[in-house]
Structure 1
Amino acid sequence: MYVKKRKIPLRKCVVTQEMKPKKELFRIVRSPEGDIFIDETGKRSGRGAYVSKDEKVIKLAKEKNSLSSHLKANVSASIYDELLELVEKERSSS
């Protein structure tokens, strides 16, 4: 019996410009109302930007303010801090 291989959705990290599987990236969303938040489901509506689940990449994004330019909105430092916390949590759970 032939088992169809599932296509893995790829997305581009806004910092490194690398194409990676969606599961290896965080999605940050600017909702139509202008709120900015981390979308852990990957399904919320709004303009999305993807960042690698890597501490160095997140720190670089914070330095360059990559998310603000990509989402065309002001992204507060707390979003970057939250991303770093999530990376830490994932690292300790694996």
Structure 2
Amino acid sequence: MKPRKIPMRKDIVTGEMFPKKELVRVVRSKEGDVTLDPTGKANGRGAYVSLDVKNAEMAKEKRIFDKAFGVKVADEFYDELIAYVDHQQARRELFGDK
């Protein structure tokens, strides 16, 4: 059988390409709301960040999503992103790649 193609996406913080499963999608809706999209299927403009706490913290420092989406993103969103990435990173370490 032919091996399956792995979808790749670019991490907005580092500019590196990663398999889609190793990233979390952040979405800006038409109304301008910026939210996390763990399913990867929400409507709106999406950007990806890797499941690495350092990258999530760098995104907060440099206000990456403010620039990418052209809207002012609250600090609470960045804190939520860091907490989510930290949780997912811990899950991967405990349970392996799932």
Deviation at 1:61, TM superposition (A): 0.8
Deviation at 1:77, TM superposition (A): 1.2
**1:36 aligns with one of 7, 19, 34:** 34
- Is the counterpart of residue 46 in structure 1 residue 44 in structure 2? yes
- Is the counterpart of residue 72 in structure 1 residue 70 in structure 2? yes
2:52–2:89 Cα contact (<8 Å) kept: no
Which residue does the alignment assign to 2:2? 4
**2:25 aligns with one of 24, 27, 39:** 27
Residues matched between the structures, number: 92
- TM-score normalised to the size of structure 2? 0.86
Which residue does the alignment assign to 1:88? 86
2:11–2:18 Cα contact (<8 Å) kept: yes
User: SS of the residue aligned with 1:91?
Assistant: helix
User: SS of the residue aligned with 2:24?
Assistant: strand
Instruction: Flag structure 1 segments of 5+ consecutive residues without an equivalent.
Output: none
Q: RMSD of the alignment, in Å?
A: 1.2
Deviation at 1:83, TM superposition (A): 1.5
Q: Identity of aligned pairs, percent? A: 50
Q: Tell which deviates more after alignment, 62-71 or 81-90.
A: 81-90
CA distance in 1, matches of 2:22, 2:77: 18
Which residue does the alignment assign to 1:57? 55
Deviation at 1:71, TM superposition (A): 1.1
What letter corresponds to residue 52 of structure 2 in structure 1?
D
